[in-house]
Structure 1
Amino acid sequence: MTSIFQRALGDDFARLHPRLRRRFGFASDDGVACVGTGVMDRVWHGRGFTRPFLWLGAQRHILLPGQGENIPFTIENYPYRDSLGRETVTFVRTFDLDRPRRWDATMIYSPERRSVVDYLGTHQHVAVDLDLSVDDRGALVIRSGEQRFHEGPLHFRIPGLVTGTAVVRESYDDEIGRFRIDVEVSNHRFGPLFGYHGTFTCSYPRGEPVPEAIRPVREQARV
């Protein structure tokens, strides 16, 4: 089976650094996952008024509160078929700040939207279209697009005024033998909201089930 990232990138997937092709090239029937561990050189947030929103979002693991330097970090990417039969990959990031803080996502490829859709949080309240590209150094660049809110009968596009636009760049540094990650989430009116950057290494466990602790509490059918 083709990974959701290969589907989204098409022929450009071959332009990724070989280590990134391995990291993003597996699917649920391959029986392999990817678990990264490392240190974020810096985790930061924007001006003071952003804190209440970050703390509120953190209750469902949608936003990341807190800040610091040299923060231990893990990322757990497990592929599986969800209850709707969709090829899904977990993106559960844990930061050892004042206490372990998680930023959860599960990703699918949507033929309807012709993109990867990123469901944020434990209950998949927010669905975000992702634009994937490969830069001239073989790094994966992800930019978030339209965002939609789903809760019971409610279903609407979230206005840009209150959303954060994420830019993620993940690369592999051959000199130090580690992955590099740089994330910035900002609002076009209010400026930077939060972000982090640092390095990590990956292991590829085989034959392990998706840990229940990182599965979403609820799966959202709407994209």
Structure 2
Amino acid sequence: MTSMFRAHMGAAFDRLHPQIQRRFSVGLDSGEACIGRGTMDRIWHGGAHVKPFLRLGGMRNILVPREGRDVPFVMENFPYLDSFGRETVTFVRTFQLPGGPHRFDATMVHSPERGSILDYLGTHQHLATDLHLSAEPDGSLLIRSGEHRFREGPVDVRVPDFIGGDAEVRESFDEATGRFRIRVRVVNRRFGPLFGYEGSFAAEYVDVRGHELRPDLRPVREEVRA
């Protein structure tokens, strides 16, 4: 078994910086989890019209409803088998914002039928987004979002472009500092920039073979629909 990210990217995975390759090799086969600890230089929002949307998402640990600078954060990437037998990797980010911490939760699975990494957002996996990964010439990783879908009970609908957001994530490794750099930007095609953050972190790798996933990292509800 290989990591879901290598399986999705194929030969392009080998063009990533070696440290990026290791980070995105976390999985059941490697037996490793990755914990990133660092600082977001900036967490920003678009205009006032996006704030109700961000507050609503924040209720289910989707997006980050507050802004800030020099915000300490932890990102936890742990592999596990979900209740449907799929290899899954957590992307749980905890931001220590003024007024209290806030989490942005996601869980990822490989979806060969969709030709993407499937990113389930939030505590209840109500939103599913296709992610497409590519290697940049400098060895950094570029992630772009595709179609978004909303699932709740019998409801299964595609999120229209005019209310959705196109996400772009760039992750690189800085040889000079020995730290990873990350930049996230989410833009609506009609209303412009919605949300984003950028910062840096150091990575620690943890052996998770034979260990159960910490319960608070697992979603409250799991969605089988891709």
Do Structure 1 and Structure 2 share a fold, with TM-score over 0.5? Answer: yes
1:60 is aligned to 60
TM-score, normalized by length of structure 1? 0.98
Shift of 1:26: 2.6
Between the aligned partners of 1:22 and 1:174, the Cα distance in structure 2 is 15
Report the counterpart of residue 51 of structure 1 in structure 2: 51
Q: CA separation in 2, counterparts of 1:15 and 1:2?
A: 16
CA contact (8 A) 1:40 1:198 kept: yes
Aligned residue number for residue 166 of structure 1: 167
Q: The residue matched to 2:176 in structure 1 has which SS?
A: coil
Match of 2:217 in 1: 214
Give the secondary-structure state (helix, strand or coil) at the position aligned to 2:216. Answer: helix
**Quick check: 209-218 or 179-188, which moved more?**
209-218
Gaps of 5+ in 1: none
- Percent identity for Structure 1 against Structure 2: 56
- How far off its partner does 1:25 sit? 1.0
TM-score, normalized by length of structure 2?
0.97
SS at match of 1:80: strand
Q: Superposition pairs for residues 1-223 of structure 1, below 5 Å?
A: 1-98=1-98, 99-207=100-208, 208-223=211-226
- RMSD over aligned CA atoms reads 0.9
Q: What whole-Å deviation, never above 9, does each CA across 1:5-50 have from its counterpart, x for those lacking one?
A: 0011000000010001110013213321000000010011111111
| Deviation of the 1:215 alpha carbon | 0.7
Tell me which amino acid in the other structure corresponds to 1:27.
G
CA distance in 1, matches of 2:67, 2:11: 38
Render the CA deviation track for 1:157-199: whole Å, top value 9, x for unaligned.
Answer: 1100000111000000001110000000110111111100010
> CA–CA distance in 2 between the matches of 1:96 and 1:105?
18
Instruction: Decide whether the 8 Å contact of 1:129 with 1:145 is kept in 2.
Output: yes
- Partners of 1:210 and 1:36 lie apart in 2 by 17
Which AA in structure 2 matches 1:184?
Answer: R
| Distance across 1 between alignment mates of 2:212 and 2:74 | 18
Q: CA deviation at 1:205?
A: 1.0
Distance 1:23 1:138 in 2: 13
Q: Is the 8 A contact 1:140 1:169 kept in 2?
A: yes
SS of structure 1 residue aligned to 2:91? strand
Q: Distance in 2 between matches of 1:167 and 1:142?
A: 6
Runs of 4+ in 1 over 2 A off after TM superposition: none
Tell me, yes or no, if the aligned pair for 2:2 and 2:29 is still in contact at 8 Å.
Answer: no
Amino acid in structure 2 at the alignment position of 1:101: H
Q: Distance in 2 between matches of 1:7 and 1:153?
A: 31
Cα distance in 2, alignment partners of residues 71 and 92 from structure 1? 16
Contact 2:76 2:91 in 1 (8 A): yes
